[in-house]
A = this chain, B = another copy of it.
Amino acid sequence: MSDLGEFALIARYFERSQHPLPTQVVLGIGDDCALLQPTPGMQWAISSDMLVSGRHFFADVNPRTLGHKALAVNLSDLAACGARPVGFTLALSLPDADPAWLQGFSQGLFALADAHHCPLVGGDTTRGPLNICITVFGETPPGQALLRSGARAGDDIWVSGTLGDAALALHCLWGRDQLPAEALALARQRLEQPTPRVALGQALRGIATAAADVSDGLLGDLGHILERSRVGAELEALDAINLLAARAHITGASGTFDPHSQADSTALRYVLSGGDDYELVFTAALESRLQVESAATGCGTRVTRIGRIVRDPGVTVKAPDGSALHGPWASFDHFAT
Contact = CB atoms under 8 A, between A and B. Distances in A.
Interface residues of A, number: 72
A52 interface: yes
A337 B37 CA distance: 34
Contact of A38 (B38, B121, B128, B220): B38
Interface stretch (A75-83, A163-171, A172-180, A284-292): A75-83
Contact of A35 (B45, B93, B126, B220): B45
A133 B48 CA distance: 9
Interface string A74-96: 00011011010000011111000
A133 B91 contact: yes
A182 to B, nearest CB: 31
A1 B128 contact: no
A336 interface: yes
A248 interface: no
A44 B31 CA distance: 14
Interface stretch (A102-110, A139-147, A250-258): A139-147
A124 B50 contact: yes
Contacts of A2: 49, 215-216, 336
A171 to B, nearest CB: 18
A33 B77 contact: yes
A228 B48 contact: no
Contacts of A145: 27, 33, 35
A135 interface: yes
Given A33-B80, A40-B40, A336-B4, A124 B49 contact: yes
A138 interface: yes
A36 B46 CA distance: 8
